Structure 1
């Protein structure tokens, strides 16, 4: 079973409003581990530091009250060595800016023989959520990554329609639909690239997907059958509203199962144990590794499951395989 002491590095907004929110995946997992009587602490990237080569953090203990379904945190922090914990969930939201990168570099000093980190700090640096898909060119749409506006216009001219995405943002921020002949095309490109200074990815627009993408969960290299489709609103071409009417129960296709089996080895090799794939028309458009939303509330209702329990079970099995029993003599079982 999973070890007894767990740290969640969460987003600053989640820390500020720390109470159970059924739309937040990290809160579901924190609550599940508390119900399993684990010792759970939370922190944020600005509360991580190094004492020479010793990774330390200001940690706030999470807890539940009797007869309450909510989660709480203590007001006072403890300063602790991260090597004294068994598992660290690293789940701050993008943007992956320099502060985010520094946080992963601090976690590089955690003794991986004693403390298991998911997703791994080096893996997150390696796996830009927009670019990592290019490790699997046979499973992705055509794309170009560049700050060169001429290259982008040539791509749009070739495919007729395209989608432009910034490389370090999330939740659909800064994503544009591009169309050949649009009088605003040059302005969009110049704005998005900050006048040829900032690279972006431009992907082929997949008409057959009808502005719908599917979220596929992968834990420890295995894909879950429970999945859903994210719908765009009538005023947009992408999912931007986390509400029930924009989410629809779905099934994995055989092609998606095959894709998951083919990319699994690379994900595990890079320490990407908790992943959310976004697929369209049986192709991967993004691989979310920083703080993927697993839509636990919605999938539980759609499929009649308790997804948070299954994820916790699978993480426990993963930790048991990855961490040597002798590396933490004093640790209890999770």
Structure 2
């Protein structure tokens, strides 16, 4: 029996029950069903006492097929007493998030994904490490540079660097009368760096979530379709999620990325891809679309993930 700690998001703690749209809940339930001890906490419950990392956490249990935790019993545990830690709070990666990652500089047990790697890898900015797989990209706060990029590319997408779920993502075309207003808003009047990418027209057909596990690309992927009133995916339901099987060529194409991420300490990631171009690399708490993949591919992805996470050689690191 293994002792496992999940650092989850505050919203997930508040509404803690099995929700088949949430990757963390699938993993927690599968670990519990296998007889392992699973504890949950949030970033603000972490502490460091004379170089010893602690987490105030709750024990979880399964009852009638659902997951629960004992709200009356908050225990203070040495993080090094766990066999595995799943570090999966949602963005924004703000100063509180960054400070939480420092606690894990004193942790000796296996942590997925490595908090140091997450701290060092901005999901938007560091995607440029794979520039050969990306559309043309600019990271800047300069209105002049962004306008020049817009003039050259004609259509662009602007993204804040530390948000998630498509929050703050904007589309601009050359000649848009609101260009300067939008750029100044997103850059806080040229004080905040943002990512700017050439617009890929094929986005209207959706983007594909390609999933990594260790140094491999999983053979299952999901196409995320945009809603009628938006150019990007923003509604997590079956109407906007369809099967998109990867070919052997595609698996081989993306596998070097999985290897590089794994070498950095990022063993679970979600690549968002349009027309063979990566638009984002999700590493903080990537959604694995387990419900949809299980249904569409007739597999048990949650079991495959837990099999990997419980590999003895992985836990011994």
Q: Shorter chain as normaliser: what TM range?
A: over 0.9
Q: Is the 8 A contact 2:203 2:231 kept in 1?
A: no
Within a 5 Å distance, the mapping from 1:234-249 to structure 2 comes to: 234-249=228-243
- Cα distance between partner residues in 2 of 1:143 and 1:253: 27
Q: What residue in structure 1 maps to residue 140 of structure 2?
A: 146
Q: What residue in structure 1 maps to residue 96 of structure 2?
A: 99
Find out whether 1:84 has 2:76 as its counterpart: no
Within a 5 Å distance, the mapping from 1:3-152 to structure 2 comes to: 4-65=2-63, 68-75=64-71, 76-111=73-108, 115-152=109-146
Q: Secondary structure at the match of 1:136?
A: helix
The change in CA–CA distance for 1:136 and 1:291 in structure 2 (over 3 A counts) is: same
Q: Secondary structure at the match of 2:66?
A: coil
Q: Among 227, 230, 248, which residue is 2:221 paired with?
A: 227
Q: Among 169, 173, 192, which residue is 1:175 paired with?
A: 169
- Cα distance between partner residues in 2 of 1:150 and 1:62: 53
Structure with higher RCO (Cα < 8 A, 6+ apart): 1
The change in CA–CA distance for 1:32 and 1:322 in structure 2 (over 3 A counts) is: closer
Shift of 1:72: 0.3
Shift of 1:259: 3.2
Q: Secondary structure at the match of 1:19?
A: coil
Shift of 1:211: 4.8
Q: Secondary structure at the match of 1:33?
A: helix
Find out whether 1:217 has 2:211 as its counterpart: yes
5+ residue gaps, structure 2: none
Q: Among 305, 316, 320, which residue is 2:313 paired with?
A: 320
TM-score normalised by the chain length of structure 2: 0.97
TM-score normalised by the chain length of structure 1: 0.92
Q: Secondary structure at the match of 1:108?
A: helix
Deviation sequence 1:270-329 (CA, Å, 0-9, x none): 100011111010011111000000011111111111110011112222x524515xxxxx
- Cα distance between partner residues in 1 of 2:287 and 2:258: 19
- Cα distance between partner residues in 1 of 2:306 and 2:315: 15
- Cα distance between partner residues in 2 of 1:287 and 1:245: 24
- Cα distance between partner residues in 2 of 1:215 and 1:263: 14
Q: What residue in structure 1 maps to residue 287 of structure 2?
A: 293
Q: Is the 8 A contact 2:161 2:193 kept in 1?
A: yes
Q: Secondary structure at the match of 1:64?
A: strand
Shift of 1:255: 5.0
- Cα distance between partner residues in 2 of 1:278 and 1:261: 14
- Number of equivalences: 316
Q: Secondary structure at the match of 1:157?
A: helix
5+ residue gaps, structure 1: 325-334
Q: Is the 8 A contact 2:211 2:271 kept in 1?
A: yes
Deviation sequence 1:143-187 (CA, Å, 0-9, x none): 100000111111111011011000000000000001100111111
- Cα distance between partner residues in 2 of 1:19 and 1:263: 34
Any runs of at least 4 consecutive aligned residues in structure 1 with deviations exceeding 6 A, and if so which?
A: none
Shift of 1:209: 3.7
